[in-house]
Structure 1
Amino acid sequence: MSGHPEPRPARRWPFAASGAVAAALLFGVAEIVSVLFSPASSPLVAVGAAFIDVTPAWLKDFAIDVFGTADKLVLLVSMGVVALLVAAALGLLARRRQVTATVLCGAIAVLLGAAVLSRAGTGVADLLPTVAGAAAGLVALNGLVRLARRRAPDHASGEAAGPRPETARRTFLIAAGLTTVVAAVSMAGGRALSAAGNAAVATRDALRLPGARRTAAALPGGVEAVAPGMPPFVTPNGEFYRIDTALSVPRIDPSTWELRVHGLVEEEFTLSFTELLEKDLEETWLTLTCVSNPVGGDLAGNAKWLGYPIRELLARARPQGGADMVLSTSADGFSASTPLEVLTDDRAALLAVGMNGEPLPLEHGFPVRMVVPGLYGYVSATKWVVDLEVTRFADKSAYWTQRGWSERGPIKLASRIDVPRGFETLPAGGAVLGGTAWSQTIGIDRVQVQVDDGEWQDATLAAEATVDTWRQWSFDWDGEPGDHTARVRAVNRDGEVQTSERADTVPDGASGWHQVRFRVE
């Protein structure tokens, strides 16, 4: 016997930590370098966007039902967790097979680069953030793994004396900690610089929109229902729902924005932002609704929009015979299929530049988006729009149509109860129920409420702004203490009664009566 103690085997956690920290540095460095390139050059954003592209309709619908407008944040957090777990596994592999782990890291970097190149508007130069991040990550991984291997001297094998275990552990922790700080600062700095340094932000903040040639009518008195707790008739921009496929909000400099109008037309042309603002703009009150809105959901919002009638653009282009669809495409690659007749009739379908008296917020499509009465957003409300192609439904399909949704998306007659909230407790002595209903391009004629299994009774309608906006309602009710259930249905001006038949959001929007349960004490 040699009389020397057996060397302690290296613990696994430092190797797993090495991989996780190296991955964090990869994405952090890539994020800050991506400031010099397009937003889609960030590999984290590119992978997330690619994941959204391949997400089946049922999973998208589930994410929106569960997480609402926080679905993108949840996706980013989930991606980060998965990336750290994969990186930790590579760190463990590097404990004994460092060359293999390095090769796999290179393969992952290639996949990240492929994700970047798959995004609209990216080129070879946009690979540089991924290359820089991958290089930093590999250097960190190899360096941290070497530190993790340092241990007490192995006298039996004749190895040279190494540092004391406490010293080796301290050195590793300091190196890992500093690398984590660099990764975090790079990630945060990249996001901040991207937001602050983009010309779109500065231009939007300084932009003064021209006045409308045709202004929206002033809202009549009494458009808001007399029911405590009701949402406002006009949705503030900061509270307006946002559902789209852009994991990173496109930041488009209006001075470089162009809209291409082409396809089955007699005259193809492009339109600049300056040219658009010089046209006769119009205002309209319009409620937008997402096809993913469940029965009673809040994925709807009402605003005053400023823009140029799309029918005027199409009149200039002169669509050819046989054309029946306009395929609109966003700067981020999203596309929507809108029936041609909807964009050429007398409804207020706009190429919008303003929202509630100010330029479009970046997350709502700045500098230009589409808004179209009567259609769900997935077939009409293209944000950051840069291309209008006049075509045929038989020849082209849009983003969500390719994923199982209906190619045409007329908004269904709907109503909801906004107050009381589900399972809310109301005081005895009478209550006021309230809610919202819509039937765009037709208008709401009646709203009826049923409490428990009683008779359907007419609610009191608030004033109507236009047939293209939602209409609020209220209902005075005096009930006995205990548990109760309220239901609502709407009737539009064509005499159509809202159906009780339940339908999921896929493929063309949810249907059914909204109901809430509440208690009176």
Structure 2
Amino acid sequence: MTTAPAAGRTRRRDDTGRPWLPGRWAAAAVGLVAVGVTIGLAELLSALGVWAGVLHAASSPVTALGGAFIQLTPEWLKEFAIRQFGQHDKDALRVGMGLTLVLVALLVGLVARRSPRTALALTGALVAVALAAVWTRTGTGPADGVPVLLGGAAGAVLLVLAFRRTVPASGPGAAGAAEQVAAEVSPRPGSAPVAARAAGTDRRHFFRVAGVGVVAAAAAGALARWVPSSAAVADSRARFRVPAPADAQTVPAGTSLGVEGQQPWITPTTDFYRVDTAFAVPSLTTDAWRLQVHGMVERPLELSFDDLLAREQIQRTITLTCVSNEVGGDLVGNATWVGARIDDLLAEVRPAAGADCVLCTSVDGFTLTAPLSALTDGRDALLAVGMNGEPLPVEHGFPVRMVVPGLYGYVSACKWVVDMKVSTFAAETAYWTARGWAPQGPIRLSSRIDVPRGFAQYRAGEQIVLAGVAWAQQHGIRAVQLQVDDGPWRDAELGAVPSEDTWVQWRWAWTATPGLHTVRVRAVDRDGTVQDEAVRPPFPSGSTGYDSRSITVS
């Protein structure tokens, strides 16, 4: 004869009659589900809030944590990431964050198996970290923490339901079950009576809750990706047509020398480098975009996107360069941009005497300080809306970004720009300059070998064609020269350019002689300045040195 369970109580036992506890892997998996529910729901609520216009984009816990991680990462590690991963550094960061969250989630589940209260405390600590990341982002307010709080509450409820303890009734095996759970759950002497601890988890209930959690986490995550915030941006970009420029630059014939493997004179948009601090690409439509121009000015100004398009649009081909570009690196690109002149805009607001910089802010809170002189000296500094004949890609700043020839991007190329404050370098601290990078950021005279690749092999007497690009924005290139081993410097053939603000293709033919040879390249600008030979890293004002190739001739 068996004893029925006590009324109102449910229990599951194994063959020995002992109360069931989830295995370590099952418990860890439920921790992963609980954290997945937390993040999925928080991301969904954040996306809905951003779409409705009541929350900041940084209310997303993933975006906020990613941004906080980027801000707190030491400079040497950032440089390492850029050197190793280039424009895929954000992908590497996402993988690292994902692995970290998985490990933490597994830990939460393992802790909950023994002590649900401790697991809830750990979950609360994680929510607190996420809240701190959200509320320390520029432009966020108290309401931006609501998605994290509600997501954390949902995850906590799932943990409580999944690991809810049930007490076995009296009957055969009950005493043994009490002793078993006492030993497994709380073996410390002097703890609560054994009978009070003789509780297990309902197996069927456990897996039912886990299954519901998996579905909820997956559904919330999927819906967050399809909320109209991102769809609205895609629709806004699709509807926008780049305006016909009133002033279009004439590009001469002969810009491309046609060497196979050489970087194209115009960098395809899909291949254009991307280096920024945005963990998640900001979502901003043309209707929502506004630009505030204020600070040390006589006439502050606010522009809508239509106001910007009503201004004269010009078309210019301009080469942009990242200060993190190593000698011979690919963090440089040449594109055709359409936009309105920044100097005309600043002339209207009339900067005050003593102002020497413009603090530019992205919609995601990133800041840079551009020299006021570089924005007002007549160079083709633009508020760009088009790139290579198309609307700006979202990852390159749609709907509006800054393009300033002659300056590294960290002091000029503000993507998703929404604020320009005329000020002084003494009064302002920007993202990168606060981390020790030079405040002015003029681009250094540089050259690169694209063809051949390193350690290429040729036969004696064969004609080797070397080719690449060189740039000296705001100065222009007079000559590119090649040296084989310690021999004399020889001039290369140069392609045509429409202005001093683009790179130039170069080509040089050499008849191979037997041996292992080192070929170096250097550029000379139109002022006669020769490229700096000294080898220096990018920090704090750009790399220097000659690019070179080793060639084997047999």
Question: TM-score surpassing 0.5?
Answer: yes
1:124 is aligned to: 142
Paired residues in the alignment total: 511
Aligned equivalent of 1:23, options 29, 35, 55: 35
The question of whether the paired residues in 1 share the 8 Å contact of 2:323 and 2:542 is answered with yes
Give 1:95 deviation, angstroms: 2.3
Q: Distance in 1 between matches of 2:430 and 2:62?
A: 25
Give 1:350 deviation, angstroms: 0.9
Greater Cα offset, 474-483 or 273-282: 474-483
Cα gap change, 1:147 to 1:393, in 2 (>3 Å): same
1:197 is aligned to: 231
1:220 is aligned to: 252
**Is 1:488–2:554 an aligned residue pair?**
no
Structure 2 residue identity aligned to 1:214: D
Cα gap change, 1:207 to 1:148, in 2 (>3 Å): farther
Deviations 1:24-61 (A, max 9, x none): 22212222222202332210111001111222222211
TM-score if structure 2 supplies the norm length?
Answer: 0.86
Greater Cα offset, 136-145 or 4-13: 4-13
Q: What are the within-5 Å matches in structure 2 for residues 402-481 of structure 1?
A: 402-425=434-457, 429-480=462-513
The question of whether the paired residues in 2 share the 8 Å contact of 1:10 and 1:149 is answered with no
2:388 is aligned to: 356
Q: What are the within-5 Å matches in structure 2 for residues 377-392 of structure 1?
A: 377-392=409-424
Cα gap change, 1:63 to 1:450, in 2 (>3 Å): same
Structure 1: 5+ residue stretches without partners: none
2:408 is aligned to: 376
Q: Distance in 2 between matches of 1:155 and 1:426?
A: 84
**Is 1:211–2:230 an aligned residue pair?**
no
1:302 is aligned to: 334
2:58 is aligned to: 40
Q: Distance in 1 between matches of 2:421 and 2:78?
A: 27
Give 1:146 deviation, angstroms: 4.6
Please say which structure displays the higher CA radius of gyration: 2
Q: Distance in 2 between matches of 1:400 and 1:148?
A: 56
Q: Distance in 2 between matches of 1:6 and 1:96?
A: 16
The question of whether the paired residues in 1 share the 8 Å contact of 2:162 and 2:205 is answered with no
Structure 2 residue identity aligned to 1:312: D
Q: Distance in 1 between matches of 2:218 and 2:550?
A: 46
Q: Distance in 2 between matches of 1:493 and 1:147?
A: 80
Q: What are the within-5 Å matches in structure 2 for residues 175-254 of structure 1?
A: 176=210, 179-180=213-214, 182-193=216-227, 196-198=230-232, 200-217=233-250, 219-254=251-286
Q: Distance in 2 between matches of 1:298 and 1:385?
A: 25
Give 1:10 deviation, angstroms: 6.2
Structure 2: 5+ residue stretches without partners: 1-15, 51-56, 182-200
RMSD value over aligned CA atoms? 2.8
Aligned equivalent of 1:510, options 543, 546, 550: 543
Cα gap change, 1:177 to 1:495, in 2 (>3 Å): farther
Give 1:16 deviation, angstroms: 2.4
1:157 is aligned to: 176
The question of whether the paired residues in 1 share the 8 Å contact of 2:18 and 2:176 is answered with no
The question of whether the paired residues in 2 share the 8 Å contact of 1:58 and 1:506 is answered with no
The question of whether the paired residues in 2 share the 8 Å contact of 1:212 and 1:281 is answered with yes
SS in 2 for 1:286: strand
Deviations 1:347-389 (A, max 9, x none): 1011111111122111111111111110000001111111111
1:293 is aligned to: 325
Q: Distance in 2 between matches of 1:215 and 1:414?
A: 27
Q: Distance in 2 between matches of 1:306 and 1:149?
A: 72
Cα gap change, 1:154 to 1:311, in 2 (>3 Å): farther
The question of whether the paired residues in 1 share the 8 Å contact of 2:383 and 2:403 is answered with yes
Q: Distance in 1 between matches of 2:71 and 2:65?
A: 10
Q: Distance in 2 between matches of 1:171 and 1:454?
A: 80
Give 1:161 deviation, angstroms: 13
SS in 1 for 2:259: coil
SS in 2 for 1:37: helix
SS in 2 for 1:157: helix
